[in-house]
Structure 1
């Protein structure tokens, strides 16, 4: 019931882009009520549930939402792809704008569990460019290319993880919904893709 209430509250918010201050308060209240019912008390250890491609339904992250404010660009789907066995996470934001200039912004990171619900995230690589130039088909295919060591005709560079790290708490996890809270105060609601 509380899960349905949260999903209904975020359904028309375009991942948070359309949320008013009143909407945000109501959504964060629905998030907190659902977190109280977390069926997975040790989510970091539930690798079978964590693993996979997650699509963002809602966020308060200004870093993600401001991508939509760039000239000529609109934010498409956003994915967080977790490879628990390898302790890796891939964040991929698809962007659209002028015809044939569809793009993506991606960050690859390693994570290290530090408690039953928190992971420390160390960013390692950033890749941004045009989907057509790298033959982008899907998050899974893109990750396969990254893991094979492929370099891309895009802005593709390593990140000094000593300066670029954060943490993420998984505060709710079931078979198809995950809620996380990040070190910058952001909330993320994702569904299994």
Structure 2
């Protein structure tokens, strides 16, 4: 809006300058030349700067696209080969270089992020168990940050959708939530203090419902109570250090890249890398 307004103030016909030439020829001529010179330089700089920014944005989006394409066929990292991991690492480093050193923006970080790829062993073990065991499924995995209205930290919830076929609904039969508090300890590092593990949102399958309370028979008070219990079941276990029994389980997490639709992280100490994309909000 400001650029359009500036162009309209100094029209190309220069009528005001012509009027001043009649009364004060020398002064008006100099004034007109400087005015037009400044105006031309201003327009030139405006044309160049946005083009440079636009090229940079296009390059960044291409790098992000390359990264997502590289992880697409790895089943979130489960079946990634050594060559694929090398290509992914190279793509990660390429994207990370765009805002390296920029401070963490908690407003942008706030929200739900869907896991696209990881090399973290604790997550891969979970995915491998689902691949090997016919009675266990793992659906979507999320990280939910709650930090928009907080200073220097917030809450992070690792959310895993899982199921047991024929007993629970496919992919989203139940939800596992690992909650932690986090504090921003440096420009790009946050420290996680894990607090509890919770199982909630049990969605039993139609087969199990029919077994507990058949639709063709009168449903007893007991069968209805069992259904209600399963649907509202929630188990909470505090996270404690197995050596001391205290709540001292935590670790550093390096947020290597962040914008409004992509989050890259590295668990400090060789715990693996994570690639997330922005997802719809989760209600927990």
TM-score scaled by length of structure 1: 0.82
1:165 equivalent in structure 2? 250
Preserved CA contact (<8 Å) 2:252 2:268: yes
Q: CA deviation at 1:38?
A: 2.2
Cα distance change of structure 1 residues 156 and 162 upon mapping to structure 2, 3 Å threshold: closer
| CA distance in structure 1 between the partners assigned to 2:80 and 2:202 by the alignment | 29
- Of the three residues 152, 155, 160, the one matched with 1:88 is 155
* Alignment partner of 1:174 is 2:259: yes
Single out whichever of 34-43 and 119-128 deviates more from structure 2: 34-43
Q: In terms of Rg, which structure is larger?
A: 2
Whether the aligned pair in 2 keeps the contact of 1:58 and 1:189 (CA below 8 Å) is: yes
Which segment is superposed worse, 168-177 or 10-19? 10-19
What's the TM-score, normalizing by structure 2?
A: 0.57
| Larger proportion of helix | 2
In 2, Cα distance between equivalents of 1:93 and 1:40? 31
Cα distance in 2 for residues equivalent to 1:27 and 1:18 = 13
Equivalent pair of 1:39/1:173 in contact (CA under 8 Å): no
Root-mean-square deviation over aligned CA pairs = 2.0
Moved more, 158-167 or 27-36: 158-167
More RCO (CA 8 Å, sep 6+): 1
Name the structure 2 match of 1:145: none
CA distance in 2, matches of 1:10, 1:69: 17
Give unmatched runs, 5+ long, in structure 2.
1-61, 205-231, 241-245, 280-284
Q: Name the structure 2 match of 1:125.
A: 196
Deviation at 1:184, TM superposition (A): 4.3
Q: Is the 8 A contact 1:111 1:120 kept in 2?
A: yes
Structure 1: state its 5+ residue gaps. 134-151
Deviation sequence 1:127-177 (CA, Å, 0-9, x none)? 1356327xxxxxxxxxxxxxxxxxx73431122364310111111011100
Residues 195 and 247, structure 2, Cα contact 8 Å, conserved in 1: no
- Give aligned pairs, total: 173
Structure (1 or 2) with the greater strand fraction: 1
**Partner Cα distance (1:14, 1:103) in 2:** 21
- Give the C-alpha shift of residue 4 in structure 1: 1.2
Using the TM superposition, give the Cα deviation of residue 121 of structure 1 relative to its aligned residue in structure 2, in angstroms: 0.2
